[in-house]
Amino acid sequence: MNFLEKLKKLDLDLPTPTAPGGNYVSINIRNDVAYIAIQFPILNDQYHYQGRLGGELSTRDGYNALGICSLNVLSQISTISSIDQLVGLNHLDIYYQATAGWDEGARLADGASDLFVQVLADKGRHSRAIFGVERLPKNFGVGLTATCTIANTSLCQTCISAQ
């Protein structure tokens, strides 16, 4: 089953890729490694899950928000290559903003990890780091960056995604 068939089976849609929020590209490839800039819980230009975990947002909200961020990562990859060319996800950096005392980062981060493994199977397994930060742009509760390895990068359309 290819990637798009898997998404359909899981009743998931790939969102429209988000544009960079500044003077950078959303995805960049060096050799066969793709670096995906931070993705936020944005679906088709609509902001979701703004606020602090433990305050306006529950851990479950954060988990779901990271699912959206993960779909945005896949959407960025699809702008330069077929997801079927993905050798594997390498590493995730997960950022969150929370109230003092909130300490459920591992459960939160599973929102990204679970989606990637569900959609990509073994290719979705990865290492990860979790960072609590004072503030994220637009008051998003979470953000996600990723690195992955892509086969045949010479066939990639471009290293710059949606402008």
In angstroms, the CA 80 to CA 97 distance is 31
Average pLDDT over the chain, rounded to an integer: 92
Q: Is the pLDDT of residue 156 over 70?
A: no
Q: What is the pLDDT of residues 40-56, one digit of tens each?
A: 999 989 999 999 999 99
| Sign of the CA dihedral running 53, 24, 113, 64 | positive
Q: What is the pLDDT of residues 73-112, one digit of tens each?
A: 999 999 988 888 899 999 999 999 999 999 999 999 999 9
Confidence of residue 2 (pLDDT cuts 50, 70, 90): confident
Confidence of residue 153 (pLDDT cuts 50, 70, 90): low
Q: What is the pLDDT of residues 117-132, one digit of tens each?
A: 999 999 999 999 999 9
Q: pLDDT value at position 161? A: 39
**pTM here?**
0.92
Q: Domain residues of the chain, as ranges?
A: 3-155
50, with CB counted inside 10 A (0-12, 13-18, 19+), is middle
105, with CB counted inside 10 A (0-12, 13-18, 19+), is middle
The CATH number of the structural domain formed by 3-155 is: 3.30.1330.40
The mean pLDDT of 6-13, rounded to a whole number, is: 90
In angstroms, the CA 10 to CA 29 distance is 29
Helices 105-120, 59-78: inter-axial angle, 10-degree rounding: 40
Distances in whole angstroms, Cα of residue 3 to Cα of each of 18, 116, 131: 20, 11, 30
